[in-house]
Every structure is written in C-alpha cells, then in structure tokens.
A and B are shown apart, each in its own frame.
Chain A
Amino acid sequence: MSQVQSQRSILQDWLPRIVLAPSFAVVLLFVYGFILFTGVLSFTGSKMLPDLTTWVGLNNYARLFNHPNWSTSLANLGIFGSLYIIICSVLGLGLAILLDQKIRGEGFLRPIYLYPMALSFIVTGVAWKWFLDPGIGLEHVMQSWGWESFSFRWIKDGRFAIYTIVIAAIWQSSGFVMAMFLAGLRGVDNEIIKAAQIDGASNWMLYSRIIIPLMRPVFLSAFVVLAHLAIKSYDLVVAMTDGGPGTATWTPALFMQKFTFGRNEMGMGAASAIIMLMMIAAIIVPYLYSELKGGRRS
C-alpha cells in the first residue's frame, strides 16, 4: 500500500519534469544555443556561411562601430525608441482614463482602439506607406479636394522619414497600451478611490496623486513591451521605406538582416545582433530582477 503510494508520488514528482523536458531541451538548443552560436560567430571572419576557422577577435565590433550605417541605425533607434515609448504611453494612458469614465458604448469603443494591434506590422507599414505617399495618398487627396498648397512629404525626405515610421508604429501600438492601462485602472482598489473622494479630492488630484502612482507596475510592463518592440523594429521599416530614402531610416534590426544575408558579412551581422541582445538585456534584466524580488516579498 505504502509502496504504491510512494511510487505514485515519485511519478507525480517526475511527471512534470518528463513532460517539460523536450520543450526545455528545444528551447535550450534553439534559443540559447543559437544565441551562443551567434556570439561565437561575431568573433569570426564569417562571410557567406558560418566559418569557425578564422578568428578576428573584436575586429567585427570595431568595424561595426566605425560603419556610418550603424551610427545612423543607432541614432534612428534613439529617435524612434524614445518617441514611440513616450507617445504611446501618454496616448494609451489618456485613452484608458477617458474610457474609464464609465461611458456608454465602452464595449464598442475599446475594440476599435485595439483593432490595429490585430494587424501585422507589414500591413500597417504598407497601408501607411500608401497613405503618406505624396503621389497617391494624403497630399494628393488634399490637393485634389482643392487645398492646392497642402504639402506633406515627410516619407520622401531623409530628415523626416523616421518620424513617419514613429507615427505608424504609434497608430499600431497605442491601443494595446491603452488596454494594459485600462486593466491597471480597473485593478485599483475602489475603497481607496472612495476614501479619497470622501476627503474631497478633485478628479485631477485623484488621478495624479493616487491612481497613476498606483499603476507603477503597469508602466513598467508597458515600457518593457514597447522598448523591445522598438529595438527589434524591422518589418515596419521594411514595409514602409526599406531603409530609404538613402539610408535615412535604417534601424539596427535592418542592419543585421542586410549585412548577414545581403552583403555576405555574417561576422558583422552577428556582432550587431549581439549588440541588440545586450540592449534588450539591459532593459529586461533589471525588470526581471525587480519582478522576481517583488514575487519573493509577497
């Protein structure tokens, strides 16, 4: 009897591990194994195919940081990342607060804002490319409606093209951020709000002093989601400008793809991938750390 029981408990102990083992092994190999492989490649002189016989040390990194396209990519990431994260958060929060006023038709409005998230970045990119194209899009329509002097040709201008990508990305993601904030707002304890209202707090005070500070974890989650989307931004750029005009809208992910597969510079491509990994790690690791610490406390 006791033997059967102990056998069962052994099985119960081991079953989860046995079931998880294959997927664990697959993840270990195909995610972490290949991260390691990319890291190794970034120190080799690989050109077209992986080549582990030539070691060049940090040469790929030196060439990477001397390459004008990489500087452009980093600068674009700075512009794109900061504007995208800030505007998305502000818009998302604003929309969430407005939707939280117990208005009629919320169930109808919410999906409207969320819907762009259901599209892939490729679809968003192509749609915005056409919309912003001066020859067929907004400018053309405005002029054919009689507003002859109307001009909006940012997407064709190297100085402003990156901002059109920011606009499209914000259109795509702010609804999603709104949903996150809305969930956060709904999670705020009603008791606290009531108490504040009894104390005579205005709506402004209520939000700025109590509710928004309480949503700190939501801000953090939104930041992490948006930041990693910004760093890996590739499909949107490819669909909208493919890095043009000139090289004005290159991003690190675009750089990685073009160098590895288009220019037979696998070593440099791997080096840029590792830099991107380090950027993401710089965001995710502190986040995970604070989350895990928080978890232990509760």
Chain B
Amino acid sequence: MRKFLLTTAAVFGLTAMAHADEVEVLHWWTSGGEAAALNVLKKNLESQGITWKDMPVAGGGGDAAMTALRARVTAGNPPTAVQALGFDITDWAKQGVVGDLTEVATREGWDKVVPAALQNFSKYDGKWIAAPVNVHSTNWVWINKAALDAAGGKAPTSWDELVAVLDKMKANGLTPVAHGGQAWQEATIFDGVVLSLGADFYKSAFIDLDPKALDSDKMVEAFDRMAKLRSYVDDNFSGRDWNLASAMVIEGKAGMQFMGDWAKGEFLKAGKVPGKDFVCIRFPGTQGAVTFNSDQFMMFKVGDASQKAQLQMASDIESPAFQSAFNVVKGSVPARTDVPNDAFDDCGKKGMADLADASKNNLLFGSMAHGHAAPAAIKNALYDVVTKHFNGEMDSKAAAKALAEAVAAAKG
C-alpha cells in the first residue's frame, strides 16, 4: 500500500513540476471577512510572481476540508499549503507527508518570536512544518455594556462576582448567558471554567491527561460550575449557532457570551465599539493565562521546483505586515509577539498583551475544546461527557468519573 502511494506520489509530483510558481491552498476561510483577510496574502504572492490556486472547502469548522485533504494525500497529490489546526498538523506529520520550512524559519528567526506553545504544533521532530497565521484565545467573555451597567457596572474578576452579575442580569429580565447548545460551544466554556480552577489543574487534566486530575474533586467542582452556568441559559439554546448567540448579546437580549475571540468579528460587523458598546474580559479567574487555538498553514511535500514558491508563501505569512493586516480583520492576534499593535482595537491590544504575558510566564495552554490540548479522539470523548452533563443526562460526580473513563478509552 505504502509503495503504491509513493509511486503515485512520484507520478503526480512530475506533473506538479509544470507549475513551478504556483501555490495551491486548501482552506475554509470563505466568509466575507476571512476571505478578505486571506486576499492580502494572495495579493502579496501575486506581486512576487506566484500564482495562487484557491481550493476552498467550507463547512464543519474544517472537517470537510480535512476529509478533502485525506483524499488528496491518499491519491499522492497534496496541495502546497493547507489550513490546519493543532493536533491535525502533528497527525499529518506522523504520516510523513509534510514539507520542511526550517530553511526560511532559521533565516527569519521564527524560533525567537513565535511562542513556544505554538511551536509545539508548527514543528515536528525539530523541523518547521507549518507557518502559524494567528492565535485565537478561547477564555474570553463578551459582555453587553448596557446590561453590565444595569447590573452594577463592574466586570467580574472571580467566580463569585460572575455569579452575582449573572443573578442581577436575570433579575433585570435578561437571559444572562447567551449560549448555543453544540458540543464544541459547551467545551469552549468548559475550557474557561477548568482554567479558572487553576492553571496547574488545567495543565494536569487536559494537557497531561492525568486520570487523577480528571476524576477529582476539583473536576466535580468544574462540572458544578457548568451546571450553575446552565441555569442562566435560555430554554431554547440547544443547537443554536455561536453567531446567533453573539447576536443576542449585541441586541441586548442577553447579558454575556463565553466564546473565543472570533466572536468579536460579529460585534464589529454590527457596528459596535469595544469598551463603549461591549466589554471584553478574560473568563473570571483566568486573567494572565490564555487557552489558545491557532490556525496554521501546514506545508506538504511538493516537488523541488514548487518548493521555492512554498517557502516564499511561508515567509510572507510570517511577515509582520501580513500578520497585522490579517489579524485585524480576523479578530485574532498575531502568531508572533513582536508585531506592532497600532492597528488593533482595545480588545485586540489586550489580547496581544495577554498572549505575550502568558507566553512569558508559561501560562499559555492549548485549548482542549479546539483540539490544541489533546488529539481529536480524546477531544471528542471529552465533548461527549461535557455536553451530556450540560444537557442534564448525568450529575457532576458521574461526569468527572465518565470523563476519566472516556479519556482512557479514547487513548486505547
């Protein structure tokens, strides 16, 4: 089988040589703002004489794109660069099909400016295999300013303060928490809740997958907090998309949303101003630590002739100008910590400062909910438990036990 793959790879490699100055890019950034952001990169490359062959596969937060990629790689004809997330990159690297960017990375000193936690994914076996585009962080809270003012006006910094604010919002007749009942959204909140119980706890539970941390009293407490948050959600939450939940906060029907910083794009699109119409804070009790997920362009093995264009593309992605231009539009923050923050809004500036701090203090962790703490099988096993508990199918104690069991089963 492997030999068959390699032969077909060789055959397709020959045909690929014909288009030396071309990069074929598989991605799922098709919505308005994302496509505009990506266009910056495309223009850059075209001005350098490199043609951009677009291969957008939208849907399912990248699931559809990964399925398409499987087919392309199995046929021995991978695209030049593929948008990818977290452990997907490592998994592909293990298959031995990815390219090598070490040459350009060393020349441009990526090692010094890209946070080490990101490098865990961009590098495999000491070689750079992917160019990180952005850093999203998931432990954000987006609060409607008017609703917060009516509830005392002070942004909560601890769990108890959060509960107090939520109670007041409820008394004011609002839906305190805007939430969409999809497994990944519940897991996104869970990221913040677990992190609020201690950075060490987050690390031992989700990164080290320590069974003792997974089935512990602290984990029971985390699930209790999830159940508490569940009581602030409207009846009609299940199945709602995240952007509709954001809209509830924007329109003032709901008080706050726990969501990654891609939610900011929804607020900005609605003409809202950070600090004036909405407030962005870290999940109460997690200031200083950051759970991230990072979009990267993973590079595949292409013929020698096409490699020049591939390296050029990687270099363009890491250029501070592109990092700034792209991330201003996307709502995320640059993947390198030395990019000037002039072009960013207040939330963006806060995000960049938080990222640099967290990276310096070793408090930058991969997000479990977004596949940056553990591989897909474990991430989804965790989704099952979190979403079952959130939907009232089990109590907190049973959930902590089930969590440890599910992770153990998924490891096997």
With a cutoff of 8 Å between Cβ atoms, the chain A residues found around residue B402 in the complex are: 68
Nearest-neighbour CB distance to chain A for B133, whole angstroms, equals 22
With a cutoff of 8 Å between Cβ atoms, the chain A residues found around residue B390 in the complex are: 246
B377: nearest chain-A partner, CB-CB? A263
CB of A66 closer than 8 Å to a CB of B: yes
B377 touches A264 (CB 8 A): yes
Chain A, interface SS category: loop
Nearest-neighbour CB distance to chain A for B410, whole angstroms, equals 8
Chain B, interface SS category: helix
State which of A45-53, A206-214, A215-223, A285-293 sits at the interface with chain B.
A45-53
Q: Which of B73, B235, B239 contacts A241 (CB 8 A)?
A: B239
B67 touches A49 (CB 8 A): no
B63 touches A153 (CB 8 A): no
Nearest-neighbour CB distance to chain B for A232, whole angstroms, equals 19
State which of B45-53, B188-196, B332-340, B380-388 sits at the interface with chain A.
B380-388
Nearest-neighbour CB distance to chain A for B401, whole angstroms, equals 12
Nearest-neighbour CB distance to chain B for A122, whole angstroms, equals 13
Given the known interface contacts A48-B95, A246-B393, A247-B388, the answer about A156 and B375 at a Cβ–Cβ threshold of 8 Å is no
A156 touches B235 (CB 8 A): yes
B182 touches A244 (CB 8 A): yes
Q: Which residues of A226-251 have CB atoms within 8 Å of chain B's CB atoms?
A: 241-242, 244-248
CB of A82 closer than 8 Å to a CB of B: no
Given the known interface contacts A244-B181, A245-B239, A262-B376, the answer about A49 and B388 at a Cβ–Cβ threshold of 8 Å is no
Given the known interface contacts A63-B412, A245-B391, A246-B388, the answer about A156 and B376 at a Cβ–Cβ threshold of 8 Å is no
Q: Which residues of B50-99 have CB atoms within 8 Å of chain A's CB atoms?
A: 63, 66-67, 70, 73-74, 91-92, 95
CB of B238 closer than 8 Å to a CB of A: yes
A158 touches B412 (CB 8 A): no
A246 touches B91 (CB 8 A): no
B235 touches A153 (CB 8 A): yes
Interface residues of A (CB under 8 A from B): 47-50, 52, 59, 63, 66-69, 129, 133-135, 153, 155-156, 158, 241-242, 244-248, 258, 261-265
Q: Most chain-B CB neighbours within 10 Å: which of A52, A134, A247?
A: A247
B236 touches A69 (CB 8 A): no
Task: Kindly state the separation between the CA atoms of A248 and B66 in the bound complex, as whole angstroms.
Answer: 26
A66 touches B63 (CB 8 A): no
Q: Which of A67, A129, A153, A245 contacts B181 (CB 8 A)?
A: A245
B73 touches A265 (CB 8 A): no
B74: nearest chain-A partner, CB-CB? A49
How big is chain B's contact interface, by range? 20 to 34
With a cutoff of 8 Å between Cβ atoms, the chain A residues found around residue B238 in the complex are: 155-156, 244-245
B63 touches A261 (CB 8 A): yes
CB of B364 closer than 8 Å to a CB of A: no
Given the known interface contacts A134-B235, A261-B67, A264-B376, the answer about A158 and B393 at a Cβ–Cβ threshold of 8 Å is yes
Task: Kindly state the separation between the CA atoms of A135 and B248 in the bound complex, as whole angstroms.
Answer: 13
B239 touches A69 (CB 8 A): no
Provide a sorted-by-A list of 19 A–B residue pairs whose CB atoms are within 8 angstroms.
A47-B377, A48-B92, A49-B95, A63-B412, A67-B409, A134-B236, A153-B236, A156-B181, A156-B235, A156-B239, A242-B239, A244-B239, A244-B387, A245-B387, A246-B387, A247-B388, A248-B393, A262-B63, A263-B380
Nearest-neighbour CB distance to chain A for B379, whole angstroms, equals 8
Given the known interface contacts A63-B409, A68-B384, A247-B387, the answer about A50 and B1 at a Cβ–Cβ threshold of 8 Å is yes
With a cutoff of 8 Å between Cβ atoms, the chain A residues found around residue B92 in the complex are: 48
Nearest-neighbour CB distance to chain B for A273, whole angstroms, equals 16
Indicate with 1 or 0, residue by residue over B392-410, a CB within 8 angstroms of chain A CB atoms: 1100000000100010011
B236 touches A156 (CB 8 A): yes
A261 touches B66 (CB 8 A): yes
Q: Which residues of B219-253 have CB atoms within 8 Å of chain A's CB atoms?
A: 235-239
With a cutoff of 8 Å between Cβ atoms, the chain B residues found around residue A245 in the complex are: 181, 238-239, 387, 391
Nearest-neighbour CB distance to chain B for A288, whole angstroms, equals 33
With a cutoff of 8 Å between Cβ atoms, the chain A residues found around residue B380 in the complex are: 258, 262-263
B235 touches A263 (CB 8 A): no
Task: Kindly state the separation between the CA atoms of A153 and B235 in the bound complex, as whole angstroms.
Answer: 9
CB of B23 closer than 8 Å to a CB of A: no
Having A50-B1, A245-B181, A264-B376, one finds 8 other A-B pairs with CB under 8 Å, namely: A49-B70, A63-B409, A153-B236, A244-B181, A244-B182, A244-B183, A244-B387, A248-B393
B391 touches A158 (CB 8 A): yes
With a cutoff of 8 Å between Cβ atoms, the chain B residues found around residue A49 in the complex are: 70, 73-74, 95
A262: nearest chain-B partner, CB-CB? B63
With a cutoff of 8 Å between Cβ atoms, the chain B residues found around residue A63 in the complex are: 409, 412
Task: Kindly state the separation between the CA atoms of A248 and B392 in the bound complex, as whole angstroms.
Answer: 11
A62: nearest chain-B partner, CB-CB? B412
Nearest-neighbour CB distance to chain B for A52, whole angstroms, equals 5
With a cutoff of 8 Å between Cβ atoms, the chain A residues found around residue B410 in the complex are: 263
Nearest-neighbour CB distance to chain B for A53, whole angstroms, equals 8
Task: Kindly state the separation between the CA atoms of A241 and B182 in the bound complex, as whole angstroms.
Answer: 10
Task: Kindly state the separation between the CA atoms of A244 and B235 in the bound complex, as whole angstroms.
Answer: 15
With a cutoff of 8 Å between Cβ atoms, the chain A residues found around residue B375 in the complex are: 264
Q: Which residues of B337-355 have CB atoms within 8 Å of chain A's CB atoms?
A: none
With a cutoff of 8 Å between Cβ atoms, the chain A residues found around residue B182 in the complex are: 242, 244
B1: nearest chain-A partner, CB-CB? A52
A47 touches B236 (CB 8 A): no
B384 touches A69 (CB 8 A): yes
Task: Kindly state the separation between the CA atoms of A245 and B375 in the bound complex, as whole angstroms.
Answer: 24
Task: Kindly state the separation between the CA atoms of A223 and B183 in the bound complex, as whole angstroms.
Answer: 35
Nearest-neighbour CB distance to chain B for A33, whole angstroms, equals 14
With a cutoff of 8 Å between Cβ atoms, the chain A residues found around residue B63 in the complex are: 261-262
B376 touches A135 (CB 8 A): no
Task: Kindly state the separation between the CA atoms of A149 and B234 in the bound complex, as whole angstroms.
Answer: 17
Task: Kindly state the separation between the CA atoms of A242 and B61 in the bound complex, as whole angstroms.
Answer: 14
Nearest-neighbour CB distance to chain A for B242, whole angstroms, equals 14
A153: nearest chain-B partner, CB-CB? B235
Nearest-neighbour CB distance to chain A for B138, whole angstroms, equals 19
Nearest-neighbour CB distance to chain A for B241, whole angstroms, equals 11
Nearest-neighbour CB distance to chain A for B41, whole angstroms, equals 27
